[in-house]
Structure 1
Amino acid sequence: MNEIVMPKLSDTMTEGRIVSWKKRVGEAVRRGDVLAEVETDKANMELEAFASGVLLEIRVQSGELAQVGTVIAVIGKAEEKAAQAAPPEAAAPKAEPAAAAPEPEAVTAAPKAEPAAAAPKSEAAPKTEAGEPAAVPPKGEPAAAAKGAGREPPLEEAMELGGFQAREPAAATEEKPPTTEEKPAATPPGTAPPGERQGEAAPHEGGAAEREAAGGAEAERFPGQLPTESRERAAPVVRRRARELGIDLGQVKGSGPEGRILLQDLESYHPEPVPGESGRPAAPVVKGAAETGPKPLSRLRAAIAKTVTESWNSIPHFSVTMDILMDDAEALRRQLKQSGMPVTLNDVVVKGVSRALQAFPQLNASFVAGGIQLHSEINIGIAVGVPDGVLMPVVSGCQHLSLLEISQAGRGLVERARAGSLTEQEMSGGTFSVSNLGMYGVSEFNAIIYPSQAAVLAVGAVVDAAVVRAGVPAGAKLMKVTLSADHRLADGAYAAAFLVELKGILENPVRLLL
């Protein structure tokens, strides 16, 4: 068998959440198949199988968190699954012969079962300890059918409904009714007899109708829980949150895959008024709690909060800003587009930064204990906005790439970032970052340096502006860029000189093609 563990899918990942499983228990799996979608601290990523076989077990359900290295599933051969399952006969407790008629032992969870063959052959319905007739299955049907043994609740359901539920062996068994000579063993003090424990039905007593009635009672006591057949529509974390908010999950429409209910569905849920009750106030306490209570952070939002706090508290930032005329760069971009090579202004900036960094290596470095770690490769992270935050995929080896190659690599990273399919390699190893808010009309801003990097360039919008050229006013395409740098690695003059170099490259973009 092969154990599948929660992998470390990013350099800062310590735990992950299973968004959804793409394979089911018992389904064939081939090496390279996508097993699950995992939410990391940076993005949702696909988890691929590293071995072929059959998915024998899923240990971490959808919506649940697991630490890196935790076993989340098991892949093996079909016969290994059969070997794991204990035979019903082996699971059955050893029973005494009926003729001996010993006094039954005291129990706290479930009555000791006797073999069906040892049951009395009386046609009369056996009596329970309370003196009421017990359910007897019709002739020709196994005894287990009348006792409800055909449906065993999942362990997760049993745990959530308040305590452990006793379970009989899989083999069909029948309890031996006590005779007039037999005396039930005394129940230990503080322990309720079987079937009378508070909040728990007697194990294996009653048929489907009783189970259905019990299920309705449980639904009354536990709002937020789905019926058993629909529980797979919501992960445990969602059911728990629904109970906290007092929301009936049966009334919530899921927006996830196959109609699964997600946490955001609970936050946006507003119950419809019941006909005939329009004048009744709509649960102000629960409603108010949902609106005023803290909204849980997503994995990505929590990771961003941790990263920027670490950076701001540990890196002494300073910033310098410069105007760059982008007329020629914009003309080059249009010419390339007309030639069938779509290049964005952000691609032009990234290429220009990679050229400038070769002349200013201390901005392509990391501050480490004992000195400055210069990086031989120029790996530029590009900020990509996603619904819940920002991702920073990395274009690696920019000094070796042409403008068109940088454009192609960047376009692919942006598409995968928005689709949530970035790999660990695409999210790691950055040595410098570029953040562009120009498409939103932002003229200038200061960005926060990514930990382990020396600087980040904030790019503003290209705007029409009036400039003076050779003493004559003229119109121009103007862009402001702001460099935030680590003062331990660079000073203001060094940072300003870098921007002068970048300005010279972008205002004479033919240098980008050399």
Structure 2
Amino acid sequence: MADIIFMPRLSDTMEEGTLVKWNKKIGDQVFEGDILAEIETDKAIQDFEIDINGVLLYCGIKEGEKARVNDILAIIGQYGENISSLIKKKTINKLKTEPEKKSETELEKESETKPEKKSEQQRKFISPVAKKMIQDKGINIHNMKGTGDSGRIVKKDIELYYENTNNMNQHFIVSNMRKEIATHLTLSKFTAPHYYLFIEIEMENIIQLRKKLNDTLSNNHKISFNDIIVKAVSRILKTHPYINATWKEKEIIYHYNINIGIAVAIHDGLMVPVIHNSDQKSLLQISKEIKDKVERSKLRKLQQQEIKNSTFTISNLGMYGIDSFTSIINIPNSSILSVGTIKEKPIVKNHKIKIGNIMKITLSCDHRVIDGNKGCNFLLDLKKMLEDPITILV
């Protein structure tokens, strides 16, 4: 008997998934452990592994299409097995839930029998198809004149409008990832009372340290400034556990493990791969892991466990030339460090001016967990370590 494969719930917040790629085609033999398809969740693109043997008899959706969790994804059975009843049931259910699409002519005829509402669009006599185009595109029709009977605005009027305007809006369907980002950051911004601490770091010694380290390494891998910052933050968090914390309604959790999330910009959103137990790893280990996970983030190839359980997050826009910025806390973390670019500027010391390399960093804190003096002490110790970075390697 054929088995129905449903759209799996691949993350705890997933409500629907996009079928990115089928790795098998109808008629292929499949075995337990095979990767049947690649599915985009609200967080990543993941391989979907099946746990049965058989023949792929039916694909419920095409590549690029979306389906809700527990919708029929595929049917697997034996060669020659009759699955028409399963497909028919799925088709009937779909017809019950989806309205039938009608042609423009049918919509035009319907409008003649429907009562007119006293809206701006109805007073101007707009065809149903044209009205839908206006609503979808957000067009202002106040001065628009139609070419249909009695000045009615029809489809070709909207198309002509688009040809003659230089200010055309583009409309894109919101991706699963963008929905998740919007929900996550809105929740953080309006539930966690943010405050921000700013400090400048003199980077001369870090610059020299990085040069010496890279001179000793092969050309295949180079240590970045961000790698050094992640290592330093990991060390400092060991002595500032109240920063490495999570707010719960009835308790505050101070995490024993130090797991650093790295904010990575990708084509249609943001990924935060996590360097787990970063305080227990060498600078080179951290550097190689960050490089690997950043590359796989951009390909949407991270597994769920690689983006979960961060306890602190770092967002670095220095490579884009940004001097300083503030970030929204990546809940359930209680803080996030924003790192700006390294920039030459005058420094006054002992009543003398010299040119130095300065990096500005910002710590965003959840005031429910981190009081101002605790946030300040963390930043001051981080500044001390970065300005005397030899201790980072100890």
| Same fold? TM cut 0.5 | yes
* Distance apart, 1:71 and its partner CA: 3.9
Aligned partner of 1:459: which letter?
Answer: V
Distance, in Å, in 1 between the alignment partners of 2:28 and 2:64 is 21
2:27 is aligned with 1:26: yes
Output aligned runs, 1:50-199, within 5 Å: 50-76=51-77, 78-79=78-79, 81-82=80-81, 84=83
1:70 to 1:396, Cα distance in 2 relative to 1, 3 A: farther
Q: Which runs of 5+ in 1 are unaligned?
A: 87-153, 164-198, 200-217, 223-243, 247-279
Partner of 1:263: none
- Structure 2: which 5+ runs fail to align? 108-131, 135-155
The alpha-carbon deviation at position 41 of structure 1 amounts to 1.2
Report matched runs for 1:53-452 at 5 Å.
53-76=54-77, 78-79=78-79, 81-82=80-81, 84=83, 283-285=159-161, 291-292=168-169, 294-340=171-217, 341-452=221-332
Deviations 1:85-119 (A, max 9, x none): 68xxxxxxxxxxxxxxxxxxxxxxxxxxxxxxxxx
Equivalent pair of 1:245/1:286 in contact (CA under 8 Å): no
Q: CA deviation at 1:320?
A: 0.2
Closer, same or farther: CA 155–316 of 1 in aligned 2, 3 Å: closer
Give SS of 1:512's match: helix
Structure 1 residues 221, 508: closer, same or farther in 2, change over 3 A? farther
How far off its partner does 1:399 sit? 1.4
Q: Do the aligned partners of 1:10 and 1:428 also contact (CA within 8 Å) in 2?
A: no
Deviation at 1:63, TM superposition (A): 3.3
Matches of 2:231 and 2:176 in 1, distance apart? 32
- CA distance in 1 between counterparts of 2:230 and 2:4 reads 42
Question: Sequence identity of aligned pairs in percent?
Answer: 35
Shift in CA distance, 219/44, structure 1 to aligned 2, threshold 3 Å: farther
Aligned letter for 2:214? K
- Asked if 2 retains the 8 angstrom alpha-carbon contact of 1:362 and 1:454, the reply is no
2:313–2:330 contact (8 Å) kept in structure 1: yes
**SS where residue 483 of structure 1 aligns?**
strand
One-letter amino acid of the structure 2 residue matched with residue 72 of structure 1: L
Rg bigger for which structure? 1
- The CA deviation string for residues 139-190 of structure 1, in whole angstroms up to 9 with x for no partner, is xxxxxxxxxxxxxxx969x969997xxxxxxxxxxxxxxxxxxxxxxxxxxx
Using the alignment, how far apart are the partners of 1:85 and 1:7 within structure 2?
Answer: 23
Matched residue type, 2:81: A
Q: Secondary structure at the match of 1:489?
A: coil
Q: Assess if the C-alpha contact under 8 Å between 1:9 and 1:423 holds in 2.
A: no
**Shift in Å at residue 292 of structure 1?**
4.3
Q: 1:67 to 1:162 in 2, by over 3 A?
A: closer
Q: 1:370 to 1:58 in 2, by over 3 A?
A: same
1:74 Cα offset (Å): 2.9
Q: 2:372 aligns with which of 481, 492, 499?
A: 492
Q: CA deviation at 1:469?
A: 3.3
Which residue of the partner structure matches residue 116 of structure 2?
none
Aligned partners of 1:14 and 1:159: how far apart in 2?
Answer: 21
- After superposition, the Cα gap between the structure-2 partners of 1:220 and 1:28, relative to the gap in structure 1 and judged at 3 Å, is farther
Q: 2:146 matched to which residue of 1?
A: none
Letter matched to residue 179 of structure 2 = A
Structure 1 residue 9, shift from structure 2 partner: 2.8
SS in 1 for 2:212: helix
Give the structure-2-normalised TM-score. Answer: 0.77
Amino acid paired to 1:45: Q
Number of residue-to-residue matches in the alignment: 337
Contact 2:31–2:52 under 8 Å retained in 1: yes
SS in structure 2 of the partner of residue 412 of structure 1: helix
- Identify the residue that residue 43 of structure 1 maps to in structure 2: 44
2:159 alignment partner AA: A
TM superposition shift of 1:417: 0.7
- Residue 293 and residue 468 in structure 1: after superposition, are their counterparts in 2 closer, same or farther (change >3 A)? closer
Conserved 8 A contact 1:18-1:61: yes
Structure 2: distance between partners of 1:6 and 1:162: 23
Q: Secondary structure at 1:442's aligned position in 2?
A: coil
For 1:423, the aligned partner's letter is Q
Measured in 1, the distance between the counterparts of 2:318 and 2:291 equals: 17
Amino acid at match of 2:261: G
Query: TM-score, length-normalised on structure 1?
Result: 0.60
